[in-house]
Chain A
Amino acid sequence: MKQYEHWLDNPLNVRKLWRGFLVVLALTVIAGFFVDLHPHFEIESWFGFNAAYGFITCLLMIVGAKALGLILKKPDNYYAKDERDD
């Protein structure tokens, strides 16, 4: 068996971590069946609202940031040129 510097370097262990993560994700949503989540607003009483909301808003933020990056991203040395002029 191949020796790894750290157990996290072994792709098998990483796969196990992924599975564990997905199980925990499922559990937090399933828990909604058994625990009264005290919805404060109408929208919050939808099943799995927080999970879906967290996922979708994050996708939107990433895409939004990416779109903004198309205009605003510049190479690292963008300002360095000016500072040499000083």
Chain B
Amino acid sequence: MANAIEAYGLVKKYGKVTALAGLDLAAAEGTVLGVLGPNGAGKTTAVSILTTLIEPDAGEATIAGIDLRKDPHGVRSRIGLSGQAVAVDEQLTGFENLDMIGRLYRLGRTRSRERATELLERFDLTEAAGRTIKTYSGGMRRRLDLAGALIAEPPVLFLDEPTAGLDPRSRNDLWTVIRELVGRGTTLLLTTQYLEEADQLANDIVVIDHGREIAHGTSRQLKRMIGGERIEVAVISHEDTPKVQRILAAHASGEIQHDPATNTLVAPIAGGAEILTQVLRALDAEGVMVEDIGLRRPTLDDVFLAITGRHAEEAPVATGEAVAAGGTA
């Protein structure tokens, strides 16, 4: 299958700070590429380059088969962008915003209005269509911004941290919409700070740090690298700790870690909820009192720890700069 997004060796420097240090990206038609990384890793810089907002210092890219450098206008007519900073006009209504964007995609008056109405309906904004964006909640703004990116039904879509700052319900709603889009053949590049989001939506995940790839694979491959879910047990009495250790050992797929300060034990497991149930039963049978117990999904931080040996946000001195320059770049 042809690649709808293809980029080689993207480099972008801001003064002394390197936002992108030779990044390659590829997404096959109709698939979702997740770009995962902490703040300042270069995610937004990459999206800005691929959507023609900024020019790379080096590197090549084609979007939907069109050369980014040779025909930026052609690229623009085939993409939709919904950025991290919501790009809608505060003083216009939801309808006016979408209608304007449709006109600027040159859909014509009738078609723009049709599409605006359709999308407002689909994103559950019909009631708010006549209100100015000032009155919208964060989730509504995000939905409208995404609707703006979809007006012209572009074959390639770029979503830069689409769910950052959203509550879990709005996030789930947005995930549903995104799945629907991809189901209809749209190619999507999605940046995120959340492993769970990439896991939920992306076929292929590139983990980046300091503007370069540090890992690449499917969600399953990455998980195998860092281990799957863990059971975390906070034990009330230190006397019970050895018992808990023994119970967890029977179910763990790897080494059990113990944090004496909080008397918390963490055990990697191969299964999911069913193992948690078994552990709970065993603890109950032995009469162990626990303060807290739960399944913990691997986070971006775990990925980082596994790959780089350091936490995502606890960075060496040099990263401080990269964060400042790339912004939540």
A interacts with B: no
Listed in ascending order, the chain A residues whose CB lies under 8 Å from chain B are: none
Listed in ascending order, the chain B residues whose CB lies under 8 Å from chain A are: none
